[in-house]
Structure 1
Amino acid sequence: MEISAQSSALAQDLLAFIDASPSPWHAVQTVAERLRGAGFVPLREDERWQLAAGGRYYVVRGGASIIAFVAGSAALSASGFRLVGAHTDSPGLRLKPRALQAGDGLLRLGVEVYGGPILATFADRDLGLAGRVAVRGVDSPVLRLVRFGEPLLRLPNLAIHMNREVNENGLKFNKQTELPLVLGLAGAGKADEGCFRALLAARLAVAPDDILSWELNAYDTQPGAFWGASKEFVADGQLDNLASCHAGLCALLAADSPRTTNVCAFFDHEEVGSESATGAGGSFVADVLRRVAASLGLDDESYRCALARSFVISADMAHAYHPNFPNAYEPAHRVAVNGGPVIKINANQRYSTGADSAARFILFCEKAGVPYQHYAHRTDLGCGSTIGPIVAAGLGVASVDVGSPMWAMHSARESAGVLDHGYMIGALSAAFSD
């Protein structure tokens, strides 16, 4: 398979984007840095907005959700919004508030399972730690990002000599007793109690007593990589769903003086149901769209006309066919890696796609000159969902669910196709230039 230099460059930029974003808060920081570099102006939710036609803006809520938009040249009430939605969070292991456990000569950190990760894939990996920490400020707490990029933690496997049936029964962990991550050797009593807090304080250059709270996740420190005979695949953590965030961001930045008002909305908490102030089930996207409309002079009636003419593309990853496990797939819907964007369909509305919205996305793919595929889940297996149905229901806007095909979804290290990422950027760029 021939991989063009452009496709490889886009995939390399994706890996750099992911490796700079080991937590949802870092992901939003990475997106915001790229937006500012392209001339986007930051807005605050607690201040009045004054937007200009053709202006480029973004706003952050809760540190882990971000919405960026470009005010189009056409009248908003006549053209509507063109919105690409994705999510910044990935399944994994989150530290508990009182995480440190000292005993049996070791220091370990207690974790909660966030979302639905493949727990076995976190074993025997070089794990770092990333997230945000609230530290004492002069008048109020200050939120600081923190990252331990070097291997800091580990979940050592049990030797096969003590787990003889692991290859027959699979690797399983008790979520309470068998997931604490090894941090180091225990010392003497009281020194152990403040060990982790002191570690955080040293990284942030603050006093240990100034640390008030934290939200931290373990992550695989191995950088992303190309693999395959022709380097046609990529492997990294968090491809689900930072690959979609990166594709949407690239498409937004590439749209030069768009006619429609283009929006990228990247939400936290999709992996745990989206029901939060920063999730797709919250008010964030509706609040932003309404404020954009009001700032551009639309009354309520005109705003509702704009919504009726709007379109949402929910971009999440899709299940690629794995030939080692053929019985896991619907026989007529075997999606191929490097076969193009996948239109995801579910009769029970786990995906938001309808015949009308699928057709619109097909036209975007044709305009961009990229292939496309269709996916339906096996009828006798439970189907995952996305932000698509949530945003579509909240706004009352037509929506389609799409994604790039991948293997090992929710693994600590996932795989996808080099060509597919460029294909998705092309399709989303066509949507933003329509």
Structure 2
Amino acid sequence: MSKLQLEYEPKSAWEAFASDEHRKAMNELAADYVKFLSECKTERLVMDYVRERIVEAGFKDDFGGARVFRFNRNKTCFLARKGRRPLSEGYRLVGAHADCPRLDLKQRPLYEDLDICLAKTHYYGGIRKYQWLTIPLALHGTVVKKSGETVTVCIGEDMSDPVFTITDLLPHLAYKEVVKKVEDAFEAEKLNVVLGQSPVLSADDGEEKAKEPFKRMVLEILHNRYGIEEADFLSAEMQAVPAGPARFVGLDESMIGGYGQDDRSSVFCALEALLAEPEPEYCQIVLFWDKEEIGSEGATGAKSYFFEYCMEELVEAWEPGARLSAVLMNGSALSADVSAAMDPDYKDVYEPLNAARLGYGPCFNKFTGHRGKVGANDAHPDFIGWLRSIFDGADIPWHMSELGKVDAGGGGTVAKFLAVYGMDVIDVGVPVLSMHSPFELTSKADIYACILAFREFLKR
């Protein structure tokens, strides 16, 4: 007779996937993930990647079909695949966000000072400002001219490109700064990106000298390369992000380091899971949003009615006569977002029994919010019990977590914006070290386990 298992310990994903077959699949997916992170530095680039993959898989922008998609301003995406059961009997939804913390160029960014051309920025999302100083940066953006022409800008990713940076004060002159609070020592208005340091030279024929020759040189380079003028920045979205590719980390190449893993790891895992499960029992829905890092506001955030509009059209096409409210309430959803892995150097802000751990598979957060669960969804136990049976039955390692000690801080996700429709929803994603930094860390075992978990959820 087997011994009764009374105690609980989460399973290591490395032990669960020790076979050669699992390790081979894990390494292949990790290589694809590194490529995805390296190429998809903005939400628009993520949407371009998603569109290419789903069109290849037979999805169409036609809700009369069985595999459908709808994009909103190339920043938000709705994907759905018909199941064997009617839509009114339920659906399985995975939702993630494609935006990440970064530095946005202001609408009038360019100026020169001390013979240097710089660009003013406004940070997007929660960053620790000092982490963005003295690192190589790339510029990505979309410029829309008055004519309506759209220009895509990318400088700093190719090895032949120059990169950009933000300067910092040398330690010899920083005696006052080192005693300041971090929030006071690093001012947002000083996050100015260095663009150039050579002037436009006056012509010999008496041409008038440029008032700002260093800024003028940068403008001429941009015009020669992209055909844009300074006024075009008024109708542009320009982002400064860490330059260069994602990399494997560690002598054993067990981890993945790179920018934007919160929350593009969830986008990658959800898309891979959807494409790998083409014959579901229930309708599959995958949603990718924008603006989560600034509260899910705006026309492309989770607070918009984009999801509801798509569902209304889907019900009309797939099951005319079904009540939209009843369909929405009958869904089950995973709010796919990362969690903070316990850091060995900062254990004091975590509660070890309920902290996410690198290498133990995706972590589920019953609630997020802050200090007393304020702003949380707080998933129901019957839904969690159902998920336990699914993942344990498929031998997929996973664990439960919360975001730090009760009074240490907190955070939020899109879960509560799905819960308003009455569906069951819980937060789940891979654990991340150095979250919101220019170089976040994940375990490739967790990425693999998360894909398998999403697959299991979407096919049930």
TM-score (normalised: structure 1): 0.90
The code of the aligned residue for 1:417 comes to S
* 1:229 to partner: Cα distance: 3.3
Name which of structure 1's ranges 96-105 and 145-154 shifts more when overlaid on structure 2: 145-154
Q: Which residue of 1 aligns with 2:197?
A: 185
Q: Given the alignment of the two structures, is residue 316 of structure 1 paired with residue 316 of structure 2, yes or no?
A: no
- 2: CA distance between counterparts of 1:334 and 1:168? 32
Q: Does 1:98 align with 2:108?
A: yes
Q: Write out aligned runs for 1:135-146 (5 A).
A: 135-137=145-147, 141-146=148-153
Q: Deviations over 1:187-210 (max 9, x none)?
A: 242555555554444443567777
Q: Find out whether 1:254 has 2:276 as its counterpart.
A: yes
Q: Could you tell me how far 1:289 is from its partner in structure 2?
A: 1.1
Contact 1:364/1:428 (8 A) holds in 2: no
Contact 1:146 1:203 in 2 (8 A): no
Determine the C-alpha separation between the residues in 1 that align with 2:220 and 2:422.
Answer: 49
Q: 2:203 is matched with which residue?
A: none
Q: Does the 8 Å contact 2:355/2:401 carry over to 1?
A: yes
- Other structure's SS at 1:161 match: helix
- Quote the residue 1:387 is aligned against: 414
Partner of 2:362: 341
Deviation at 1:22, TM superposition (A): 1.2
What corresponds to 2:53 in structure 1?
34
Give the Å deviation of 1:389: 0.8
Structure 2 residue aligned with 1:8, among 27, 33, 52?
A: 27
Corresponding position of 2:3: none
User: What are the Cα deviations for residues 24-70 of structure 1, in whole angstroms up to 9, with x where unaligned?
Assistant: 111111111111122221x2xxxxx5512xx2221111221111111
Identity of matched residues, %: 25
* Superposed counterparts of 1:144-293, under 5 Å: 144-148=151-155, 149=157, 150-164=161-175, 172-176=185-189, 178-185=190-197, 187=199, 188-204=210-226, 213-293=235-315
Say if 1:295 and 1:142 are closer, same or farther in 2 by CA, change over 3 A: farther
- Partner residue of 2:135? 125
1:126, 1:151 within 8 Å by CA — same for their partners in 2?
no
The 3-state SS of whatever aligns with 1:396 is coil
Q: Larger C-alpha radius of gyration, 1 or 2?
A: 2
SS of the residue corresponding to residue 251 of structure 1 reads helix
Match among 107, 116, 119 for residue 109 of structure 1? 119
Q: Deviations over 1:401-421 (max 9, x none)?
A: 111001000001100101000
Distance 1:167 1:320, change over 3 A: farther
Query: Residue type matched to 1:175 in 2?
Result: A
| Deviation sequence 1:97-156 (CA, Å, 0-9, x none) | 11001111100000001111122221121100112111244xxx2434321123431012
- 8 Å Cα contact 1:270-1:386 kept in structure 2: yes
Segments of 5+ residues of structure 2 without an aligned counterpart are 1-13, 200-209, 368-372
1:406 and 2:432 aligned: yes
1:334 Cα deviation after fit: 2.6
| RMSD (Å), alpha carbons | 2.2
State the secondary structure of the residue aligned to 2:315. Answer: helix
**Distance change >3 Å, CA 229–CA 354, structure 1 → 2:** farther
Residue 353, structure 1, aligned to residue 384, structure 2: no
Does structure 2 conserve the Cα–Cα contact (< 8 Å) formed by 1:107 and 1:185? yes
Cα distance in 1 for residues equivalent to 2:151 and 2:415: 31
8 Å CA contact retained: 2:106, 2:120: yes
Structure 1: gaps of 5 or more residues: 44-48
1:10-89 map, 5 Å: 10-41=29-60, 43=61, 49-52=62-65, 55-78=66-89, 80-89=90-99
After TM superposition, the score normalised by the length of structure 2 is 0.85
Per-residue CA shift, 1:259-297, capped at 9, x if unaligned? 211111110000000111100000111111111111113
Aligned residues: 419
Once residues 209 and 164 of structure 1 are traced to their aligned partners in structure 2, the CA distance between those partners, rounded to angstroms, is: 40
What amino acid sits opposite 1:27 in the alignment? Answer: V
- Partners of 1:212 and 1:99 lie apart in 2 by 9
